[in-house]
Homo-oligomer: A and B are copies of this chain.
Amino acid sequence: MSDTLLRPIRWLGGAEEGQIWMLDQRRLPLEAKELLIADHRGVADAIRDMAIRGAPAIGLAAAMGVVLGVREALGKPEGIWDEEVKAVLERLRSTRVTAVNLEWALRRMESAYRQHRGQSRTALLQNLLSEALAIQEEDTAANRTMGELGADLLKPGSRVLTHCNAGALATSAYGTALGVIRCGHARGLVSRVFVDETRPYLQGARLTAWELQRDGILVTLITDSMAGYFMKQGSIDCVIVGSDRIARNGDVANKIGTYSLAVLAKAHQIPFYVAAPTSTIDLETPTGDQIPIEQRSPREVTHIGSTVIAPEGIEVSHPAFDVTPAALVSAIITERGIAMPPGVDTIRSLME
């Protein structure tokens, strides 16, 4: 298993001069370009442009981005530090609207800034970096725990369908949905993973297929439109996906296409599991109806690389996420336990 090596984002150096190293995911699997980012605007661009993506990974990137942003602010007159830091937080916050881990990580970093605001530059930056690295370590540990808890739900010989990329690349390491699959595979329970290509951004084909192939797990790549066919054939034993935000009632926002899979899974009586750290659960959002859905560029639908696939001037709709009602979710796997069935009560008892 090479998963311990796959960390899409790292802090290099000390708090006072360090930079963020990132694997640029836009050209994977063909090209593994690396980015070195030394200012918070660069982090905001990397998140918005999807060099880094996946709810826990963008939370971590933003946390490290705050270290850079505060460092930039400290180079200015002390009187405007707070204002500058506020602008940094806002710039990072506005990059993506659906994933709540971004907001969650920024709040932790803001709170750390307030707590250590009166210290020396060195101590303040060191404490902020420690907080970002704590987020990173906790996320990896959470993924390992989810992997173990989730694998308990798998039957021997499981053929698992997953959508998008909820893997190492979407987190600090190991992955959420792919963490469960990795742990299940290590226990000999997973025989094959069906990977939806996940149009329009193709995270399944480009990232998940690549991650699993790298780990030596048997993969069958399919288009999103084939999932129903394989379910009907009896080729899928369960579905496992990640999440970008889970509402208080257990409704799950995740990559567009997840809802369709959940409806199909229900129709075929196939268990539908969501694996996500508790940082993805947003108790301030009562139901899925209140989760903002990011609308992305039509160009991501009409262009694939340099190839144009639609007539010029055609109207395109591109919601990047959808919401799956809790009633269609068999279980939500978190590092604090499993909400099964998901709902206000089971979610609340996890979060207490």
Question: Which residues of A come within 8 Å of B, CB atoms?
Answer: 29-30, 196-200, 202, 205-206, 209-210, 213, 218-230, 232, 256-257, 259-260, 263-264, 266-267, 301-302, 304-319, 322
Tell me if B316 and A220 are in contact (CB < 8 A). yes
Give A170 to B230 CA distance when docked, in angstroms: 26
- Chain A interface, >50% SS class: mixed
| Shortest beta-carbon contacts, A-B, top 6 | A225-B257, A305-B307, A228-B260, A199-B223, A29-B311, A224-B225
Chain B residue contacts of A256, Cβ below 8 A: 223, 225-226, 229
Residues from chain B with a CB closer than 8 A to the CB of A232 are 259, 322
Residue of B nearest to A304 (CB): B304
Contact A210 B309 (CB under 8 A): no
- Residue numbers in B under 8 Å from A266 (CB-CB): 267
Closest to A260 in B: B228
How far apart sit A264 and B324, CA to CA, in the bound complex (Å)? 13
B220 with A257: CB separation less than 8 A:
no
Q: Are B310 and A307 in contact (CB under 8 A)?
A: no
Indicate whether A313 sits within 8 Å of B213 (C-beta atoms), given known contacts A228-B322, A263-B267. yes
| Contact (Cβ within 8 A) B198 A309 | no
